Chain A
């Protein structure tokens, strides 16, 4: 059961900083089966105009944020319905990215399959120069059982 209180909409979790390691970018690119050397070879990344290895487009989803105030998500049984990214400056190895997260919306729907809670979580990352690197929105659906 999802525990969420609509009163918390808009409340931000304290930003959480993560240093981007070369190994993390390489492992992530490998997991996707990437063969583009820009993700593996720093020299090639520099020649392509990056400070160091750049992060693949969906990498920001792996950056941790602090728990969203007022929201308790079950560990499993949650459906990822939608995912959106808007990109700012590139994320490169060596950057320190501060990610804040907040509850953007909560909806409860009654459908043929019972009651569903639909939660939208927004996240934003800024780098060590305070420049936006990504904005993300995740829509999560929890089936709350029969009507």
Chain B
């Protein structure tokens, strides 16, 4: 169970060009800056960059993998601060800032960061996850 001050992760994840293409297809976001180097450069970018929403989605995936059984997201908010290019490895990490216990379960506020070595964090934000008392019960409807 999460306690205040617990570190979540870190996880290292290498963003590949294949993942950008898969994410474009799955999300329907076909902005060419995510798959066409030439078009990306026309917009002043160094080449194609990862979708901000891909980075946000990856952070959610890793965070949830470490959450108590039956946990679900209640809120999730991030700021996109710098870009990630294919081939770069990001470090996804979190810290538990608060935990509130109620009669039916608990919820925690987590600070989330997607970091890039030698650069400003690509994504920072906060997530609130809740989970039922006693572990593996229904996530509810």
A in complex with B: yes
- Asked if A76 meets B43 with Cβ closer than 8 Å, knowing A58-B56, A81-B80, A82-B77, the reply is yes
Shortest C-beta distance, A43 to chain B (Å), equals 15
- Tally of chain A residues near chain B (CB < 8 A): 34
Interface-central residue, B13, B61, B78, B79, by most chain A CB under 10 Å: B61
**5 extra interface residue pairs, beta carbon distance < 8 Å, beyond A57-B57, A61-B27:** A27-B22, A48-B138, A57-B73, A83-B52, A84-B78
Tell me if A11 counts as interface (CB < 8 A to partner B).
no
Q: How large is the interface on B (under 10, 10 to 19, 20 to 34, 35 or more residues)?
A: 35 or more
Residue A89, interface by CB 8 Å: yes
Across the A-B interface, give the 6 residue pairs with the lowest CB-CB distance, nearest first.
A49-B138, A84-B77, A31-B26, A58-B57, A31-B22, A80-B52
Interface set of A (CB-CB < 8 Å, partner B): 24, 27-28, 30-34, 36, 48-51, 54, 56-58, 61-62, 64, 75-77, 79-87, 89-90
Known: A57-B64, A58-B56, A77-B43. A85 touches B19 (CB 8 A): no
**B39 and A33 contacting across the interface, CB-CB below 8 Å:** no
The residue in B13, B57, B139 that gathers the most chain A C-beta atoms within 10 A of its C-beta is B57
Q: A28-B27, A75-B31, A83-B80 are in contact. Are A34 and B75 (CB under 8 A)?
A: no
